[in-house]
Amino acid sequence: MVTYYKNYDTGGFFDEYFTDDGSPRPGASLLLKRIEDLPRGELLRRQKATEARLFQMGVTFTVYGEDEGTERIFPFDIIPRVIEPGEWDVLERGLKQRIYALNLFIDDVYNDRKILKDGVVPEELLMSSKVYRPQCVGFRPPRGIWCHIAGTDLVRNGDGAYYVLEDNLRSPSGVSYVLENREVLKRTFPKLFEDLQIRPVDNYPNRLRDTLGYVAPKGVYSPNVVLLTPGIYNSAYFEHSYLAQQMGIELVEGSDLVVSGGYVFMKTTRGLQKVDVIYRRIDDDFLDPLTFRPDSLLGVPGIMDVYKAGNVALVNAIGTGIADDKIIYAYVPEIIKYYTGEEPILPNVPTYVCSRESDRAYVLENLKDLVVKPANESGGYGILIGPKSTKATREKFRKLILSDPRNYIAQPTLSLSRVPVLAGDRFEGRHVDFRPYILYGEDIYVMPGGLTRVALKKGSLVVNSSQGGGSKDTWVLRDIP
């Protein structure tokens, strides 16, 4: 028998498996016992077999801006993250509350603007956002839902509480890895899945398909649904093709679609076929060259007019990005209170908005202690991590903030929780975050699980796959065994 966690050191961080005195947490106890019962070398053998399986399945992502080998296998660690039932109940309720309020916010800012008139969110911040779409003013999408699919990034701090790090409402990616991770881990630990009451995630594609069908144009009872991808060079192309295949819908590119007579059609070998719902994984800017960027070759000319006429549904709705601008994020607690009259169930990470003079002064004085983020970047790019930065980098960010304060927020450096990873014949702690996925259709559904991203590099706080991060399966338990 191998004692994988003998001398395991939590390092003073909140550990998802162990308490400060080294005792297993209740949700992890049985899993740890089963792992300890495996023959010597068996866990490592299963890790390698899992990696080989993911390689055969082509579970990849693409890294932009590198000269060689831009397509990579997504790293995976065999030790799952475990979430106990009581914790999940809070997360689920908090995520539903958040997406409900954010949808009301988007609808309000493009229509009545009550929240702006009441001064809860400064109008100048909204109007200066790069993702605000004046083309959507006065528009309401089918069923009044703007954001149908969301991925909300959460972190657990040293106090053991979950905090919302950011909202991803435009094209949240990664759910395909959740489904594939679960598939391979069920093969890796079949007995454990019998012993532990792990909530399933594999009905997500059906839920997603139902969500898409729910927002079909009026009078369409058997909608033709497609997934629109930018193409094979997009970083999430694997996910696009995977989800289309899982839902049994066509994967199309812009050149496969055409607007004619006020409708959108798909080109097929049997002629044109009307399309009713489009799950688009193309940003607003590139979706319609007649309305947005005229140089876009990815989109469909004229699709915006069809959309506004109500003859096709787009998921997520155009203009949704206004609610995940990182500056607007700072106001989400007030947004929740304004629309629901409730206190936020999930708190934000404390955030300094650099367009506020007092916040900006504090940020500039404390750059070495803060994480600075631009408003609309993703993938961990364009970020300053103060404690790990050089004087030259801090000076660069000082100038960036002063030249465009609207574009920056800052947050304290968090003490992210850790989960054990397999390091040979022992466990080592690594920092993680968590992205659960939410669907808003006939009702609001939170998939019981999500993408746990792990900073595989020892000591690193960066979990993004494009910068060396990997993933873990996430097990939400029905009960403590």
Report in angstroms the alpha-carbon separations of 29 from 16, 136, 195, 345, 422.
11, 52, 12, 28, 17
DSSP β-bridge partners for residue 174: none
Lowest mean pLDDT among 54-63, 84-93, 328-337, 382-391: 54-63
pLDDT category at 240 given cuts 50, 70, 90 is: very high
SS (H, E, C) 184-242: HHHHHCHHHHHHCCECCCCCHHHHHHHHHHHCCCCCCCCCCEEEECCCCCCCCHHHHHH
- DSSP lists the bridge partners of residue 280 as 228
Residue type, 329: Y
Mean pLDDT, the chain, integer: 91
Where residue 68 falls among pLDDT bands split at 50, 70, 90? very low
Kindly tell me if the per-residue pLDDT of 148 is higher than 90: yes
To the question of pTM greater than 0.75 for the whole model, the response is yes
Mean pLDDT of 63-89: 77
Q: What's the pLDDT tens digit per position in 220-233? A: 999 999 999 999 88
pLDDT over 70 percentage in the chain: 94
pLDDT of residue 38: 86
Instruction: Label residue 215 by pLDDT band (50, 70, 90).
Output: very high
Q: What is the 3-state secondary structure (H, E, C) of the chain?
A: CCCCCCCCCCCCCCECCECCCCCECHHHHHHHHHHHCCCCCHHHHHHHHHHHHHHHHCCEEECCCCCCCCEEECCEEEEEEEECHHHHHHHHHHHHHHHHHHHHHHHHHCCCCHHHHCCCCCHHHHHCCCCCCHHHCCCCCHHHCCCCEEEEEEEECCCCCEEEEEEECCCCCCHHHHHHHHHHHHHHCHHHHHHCCECCCCCHHHHHHHHHHHCCCCCCCCCCEEEECCCCCCCCHHHHHHHHHHHCCEEECHHHEEEECCEEEEEECCEEEEECEEEECCCHHHHCCCCCCCCCCCCCCCHHHHHHCCCCEEECCCCHHHHHCHHHHCCHHHHHHHHHCCCCCCCECCCEECCCHHHHHHHHHCHHHEEEEECCCCCCCCCEEHHHCCHHHHHHHHHHHHHCHHHEEEEECCCCCEEEEEECCEEEEEEEEEECEEEECCCEEECCCCEEEEECCCCCCCCCHHHCEEEEEEEEECCCC
Work out the average pLDDT over 358-385: 86
pLDDT value of residue 412: 93
Residue bearing the bigger pLDDT, 251 or 2: 251
* Residue 174, pLDDT above cutoff 60: yes
- Between CA 318 and CA 104, with CA 343 as vertex, the angle to 5 degrees is 20
Q: Is the pLDDT of residue 146 over 70?
A: yes
Separation of alpha carbons 183 and 201, rounded Å: 10
Which tens digit of pLDDT belongs to each residue from 392-411? 999 999 999 999 999 999 99
Residue with more model confidence, 460 or 28: 28
Pair 353, 347: CB distance under 8 Å: no
Mean pLDDT for the stretch of residues 90-118: 97
On the question of pLDDT at 278 being above 90, the answer is yes
CA–CA gap between residue 413 and residue 291 (Å, rounded): 40
Q: Is the pLDDT of residue 100 over 90?
A: yes
pLDDT value at residue 379: 56
Per-residue model confidence (pLDDT) at position 467: 65
Which of 60-69, 188-197, 281-290 shows the highest mean pLDDT?
281-290
Give the pLDDT band (50/70/90) at residue 328: very high
